[in-house]
Chain A
Amino acid sequence: MSNKESLVVVGNGMVGHRFIEQLIQAGGLDRYQVTVFGEESRPAYDRVQLSSWFTGTSAEELSMVPEGFYEQDGVELILSDKVCTVDRELCEVLSESGRKVSYNKLVLATGSYPFVPPVPGHDRDGCLVYRTIDDLEAIAETARNSKVGAVVGGGLLGLEAAKALKDLGLETHVVEFAPRLMAVQVDEGGGQMLRRKIENLGVKIHTSKNTQNIVDGDGTVHQMQFADGEVLNTDLVLFSAGIRPRDELARECGLELGERGGIVINDHCQTSDTNVYSIGECALWSGRIFGLVAPGYQMGQAAVDHLLDVESTGFTGADMSTKLKLMGVDVASVGDAQARTPGALSYRLIDEEKEVYKSLVVSGDKKKVLGAVLVGDAEEYGSLLQMALNDIKPPQNPAELILPQGSGEAPKGLGVAALPTTAQICSCFNVTKGDLTGAVAGGCQDMTSLKSETSASTGCGGCTALVKQVLDHELEQLGVEVKKDICEHFPYSRQDLYHLVRVGEIKSFHEMLEKYGKGKGCDICKPTIGSILASCWNEYVLKTEHAPLQDTNDYFLANMQKDGTYSVVPRVPGGEITPEKLIVIGEVARDYELYTKITGGQRIDLFGVRVNDLPAVWKRLVDAGFETGHAYGKSLRTVKSCVGQTWCRYGVLDSAGMAIRVEQRYRGLRAPHKVKMAVSGCTRECAEAQSKDVGIIATEKGWNLYVCGNGGMKPRHADLFATELSDEQLIKTIDRFMMFYLRTAGRLQRTSVWMENLEGGLDYLKEVILEDSLGLGAQLEAEMAANVDAYQCEWKTTLEDPEKLKRFRHFVNTDEGDSNVVFVKERSQIRPASQEEKIIAKSA
């Protein structure tokens, strides 16, 4: 015999098994000789995933115990043997098979059993429960000869059971005593939406039904008779009406129990007998039973700590928030989902079309998120849970947290960056953000390794999205050191470079390279620095020293097309154009045989201009009063307008006038990426301002300003930034906003992406721009004013300089054009010829 103390564990369910793992991990086998009794024939398996058995997951796959796990560590596992007596005086347990084991310490992890209401007939053949793999086998067996199945209980487990019956091909009914589904977890609205969704899946729901009798059926095996006189004929009855703690052993040996059952434990999970511990679903802590695995695992850890005399806070309660997929429907409940806290405020979103229900509960002073219910779309579960657990202050208008994205409100949720390191990310395994960041820093750079290192997201899986976010964020943080460098020549981000240029008053690429870079530069850093030099000093971009920095588009002040020709886009401020100017564009296009098209930005593009024709085309346009549209630049593109008050019967302000004013103010401004704006004359929003970097919408009381919208690859609805602005306030605000963007955005970062990566998000931006929290306001305005004053039309300047014009030729040694540029006609205009067409054209 060893001189170790004897530890006996009763129950080898999820918590009992995890307890052994925790004990082994803490080195507890040096001190204890462990014996485990399990009543079931199998070692512990994943009860949470039980339903997947019906969709093909085998019992082996559900097992949580690797082959030989207990044996290799010398833990004795006795299965198919139920402990029937505990003698606390002799410190001995006795099993049904007659085994007697004495203990120094005893752990009761007996779980719970499904509650079956004692209605007459409840024990008929074919009346089943849903808790163990054996139960599943019985259900499958009975279903084979059944057509109709009824689940008693519309709670979480009942709905899972209903899914199982549905998968088995039965006509499925859910009978619920309460007036709604999942009455414990979700509020009334959530219950209604859930019902609607589940009914759409073909499951019949009967609420407010009190089953009084189960008798022989009418053409079916059973008939359920309800208090209201109605009946339901069914072949199979599955009880899922709640769980009850398995406290019979404890009761018999005189341990203290709760009024309605449950083995009373303290923070160390000790029962009223200090040598006896209890953990998992059978334990009652602070008057509560926890019917989820995560709290059970936490109890296990507390018990292990205490058994090994490790200082710990013990079990301090657990959050009962849950997220599940019930019959394919996302359902989540966070904290005080039912708004029971006095003074709590609720916000609800009901989208009957998409079948989504969300409710949010915050404290009366709006400083805390207390709870939430999500049905149909539980995307915000992770962030809402974190806000609730970590007391993170919700935005001014908390409703934004559950509003659909793209509704023009602030970005919802919160970046993982905002979470404290102590924030628990995975509640199943109590993994904190700090644990994760530590593991990432230690080399876990993908989900697989992070999961195996920390166990995070290997339980219920509810935290997976959040774990991924932490991983991504950390990688970004780590990668940033490397990735922030815009290229091999400059170990700086665009923001850093901007700062260096401004502070060091650097005026050329050459100077930058000398001071901060190495090598000769490339097609990444050259245009970036060229653009920064332009935004800071607004010099003519084609000054000889800047010329080699420019992309061909900037160099030739036109947009290169696939065949090497260019397109020309004159500025048409606000989309307003005189007939004379329209005629000039028409004449130029006709004379140079150009393809013309109205662009998506309310102006006209002339395509197919050969490089050597660019100056002549532009000479005619400039003479007619046009200026460059900067379609080539990372700069202001168009300010789209609607016709507004002047003509439109609904317009409340002069939107076209404002669009022109804004376009003329910001034209030519070089930015990290292109910038688009729009002005609508009323709320009908014909200019689509809410999809622009800067969107302006007229109201009776002034202009409403939206920022950081985006069309394109990843559309983003703009955020409402300020309301009821006068003309002057509007311009001032945009000045500040734009200059702040220029200062702080990364290379090729549109305002939308910039904002989404900006720490503090919209609120921070509002503080900086509207409340001038950084004291930058005057400076930003002055910088913008300098830019506005220095504006010049690059084409006008170019045309005035014969030296510059020399560049616009295809060959240095002949005036010939590129013979490889060939056009054919389509719909009465030219287009580039295909390779085949070129061959035909040449041989003709």
Chain B
Amino acid sequence: MEWATVCSAGEVTELLGIGALIFDHQVAVFKVDGELYAIDNFDPFSQANVLSRGIVGDLKGELVVASPIYKQHFSLKAGTCLEDGTVSIAVHPVRVQDGMVQVALGSPVSQQAA
């Protein structure tokens, strides 16, 4: 697995997403209770790269981000869409190494996200 360094750990704020470009692929990185999560930035419903700008919270115990465009919720851990079981997005491995946030590309990587 190839890790890409994104930014220093301090640059990720609790509950506020950030976007990152790794290997030409857009990801959204979140921090909740000190724990990091990375998912695709691409919102399959609006076809826009916006998930890093959604509100983070939980629904029935599941950590989610709400798309800022049409408000569907995606699980930060599994990438599944809570409103539509047929839709899900990729989740990516993320870690902190030497104070730096690193993301690797999980699979499958969604097609359209560029």
Contact = CB atoms under 8 A, between A and B. Distances in A.
Given A523-B71, A560-B50, A564-B50, 19 more contacts: A488-B59, A520-B56, A522-B59, A525-B57, A527-B55, A547-B13, A548-B55, A549-B55, A560-B68, A564-B46, A809-B19, A810-B19, A810-B49, A811-B26, A812-B29, A813-B7, A819-B114, A820-B48, A835-B47
Given A522-B66, A547-B16, A814-B21, A555 B53 contact: yes
Contacts of B114: 819-820
Contacts of B6: 812-813
A187 interface: no
Q: Tell which of A521, A525, A562, A810 has the most Cβ of chain B within 10 Å.
A: A810
B55 A522 contact: yes
B20 interface: yes
Contact of A523 (B11, B20, B57): B57
B104 to A, nearest CB: 14
Interface string B1-33: 000011100011111101111100010010010
A812 B18 contact: yes
A488 B59 CA distance: 8
Nearest to A819: B114
A547 B56 CA distance: 11
A550 B68 CA distance: 10
A520 B66 contact: no
Contact of B57 (A522, A562, A813, A819): A522
A819 B114 CA distance: 7
A700 to B, nearest CB: 50
Given A548-B16, A812-B6, A812-B11, A522 B58 contact: yes
Nearest to A520: B58
B49 A564 contact: yes
Per CB-CB distance, the 9 closest pairs between chain A and chain B, nearest first, are A522-B57, A564-B48, A523-B66, A552-B68, A548-B15, A523-B55, A812-B18, A520-B58, A552-B53
Contacts of B94: none
B64 interface: yes
A580 to B, nearest CB: 34
Given A523-B66, A523-B71, A548-B55, A811 B46 contact: no
Contacts of A820: 26, 42, 47-49, 112-114
Interface string A551-575: 1110110001011100000000000
A549 B56 CA distance: 9
Nearest to B65: A523
B69 interface: yes
B79 interface: no
Interface residues of A, number: 37
A563 B48 contact: yes
A214 B108 CA distance: 92
A556 B52 CA distance: 13
B113 to A, nearest CB: 8
30 contacts: A489-B57, A519-B58, A520-B63, A521-B58, A522-B64, A523-B55, A523-B57, A525-B57, A526-B55, A526-B57, A547-B13, A548-B16, A552-B53, A552-B54, A553-B68, A555-B53, A562-B48, A564-B46, A564-B49, A611-B53, A811-B26, A812-B6, A812-B7, A812-B19, A812-B20, A813-B22, A820-B48, A820-B49, A820-B113, A835-B47
A488 B49 contact: no
A807 B17 CA distance: 10
Interface centre among B6, B7, B19, B20 (most CB of A within 10 A): B19
Contacts of A551: 55, 68
Given A522-B58, A563-B48, A811 B20 contact: yes
Contacts of A814: 21
Main secondary structure of the interface of A (DSSP, over half): loop
Contact of A818 (B22, B26, B66): B26
Interface string B61-75: 101101011010100
Contacts of A807: 16
Interface in A801-844: 807, 809-814, 816, 818-820, 835
A452 to B, nearest CB: 36
A72 interface: no
Max count, chain B CB within 10 A of own CB: residue among A562, A809, A820: A820
Interface in A507-556: 519-523, 525-527, 544, 547-553, 555-556
B71 to A, nearest CB: 7
A547 to B, nearest CB: 6
A292 B12 CA distance: 76
Contacts of B53: 552, 555-556, 560, 611
Nearest to A565: B48
A525 B58 CA distance: 11
Contact of B46 (A526, A562, A813, A816): A562
Contacts of B21: 811, 813-814, 816
A36 to B, nearest CB: 61
A553 B48 CA distance: 15
Nearest to B17: A548
A819 B113 CA distance: 10
Nearest to A563: B48
Nearest to B32: A520
A414 B20 CA distance: 57
Nearest to B7: A812
Contacts of B5: 813
Given A562-B48, A564-B46, A520 B57 contact: yes
B19 to A, nearest CB: 5
Contacts of A552: 50, 53-54, 68
A819 B25 CA distance: 10
B21 to A, nearest CB: 5
A553 B113 CA distance: 23
A810 B20 CA distance: 8
Nearest to A521: B57
Nearest to A818: B49
A793 B64 CA distance: 32
A544 B13 contact: yes
Contacts of A555: 53
A488 B15 contact: no
A820 B113 CA distance: 8
Contact of A488 (B32, B56, B60): B60
Contact of B19 (A519, A549, A556, A811): A811
Contacts of B63: 520
Contacts of B32: 520
Interface string A142-164: 00000000000000000000000
Nearest to B64: A522
B77 to A, nearest CB: 14
Nearest to A807: B16
Contacts of A809: 19
Nearest to A562: B46
A549 B16 CA distance: 9
Contacts of A562: 46, 48, 69
A549 B50 CA distance: 17
A360 to B, nearest CB: 47
A527 B68 CA distance: 12
Interface string A487-512: 01100000000000000000000000
Contacts of B7: 812-813
Contacts of B66: 522-523
Nearest to B42: A820
A547 B55 CA distance: 10
A663 to B, nearest CB: 28
A810 B18 CA distance: 8
Contact of B14 (A521, A548, A564): A548
A577 to B, nearest CB: 30
A555 B29 CA distance: 17
Contacts of A521: 57-58
Nearest to B55: A523
B2 to A, nearest CB: 15
A844 B13 CA distance: 39
B100 to A, nearest CB: 10
Nearest to B53: A552
Contacts of B14: 548
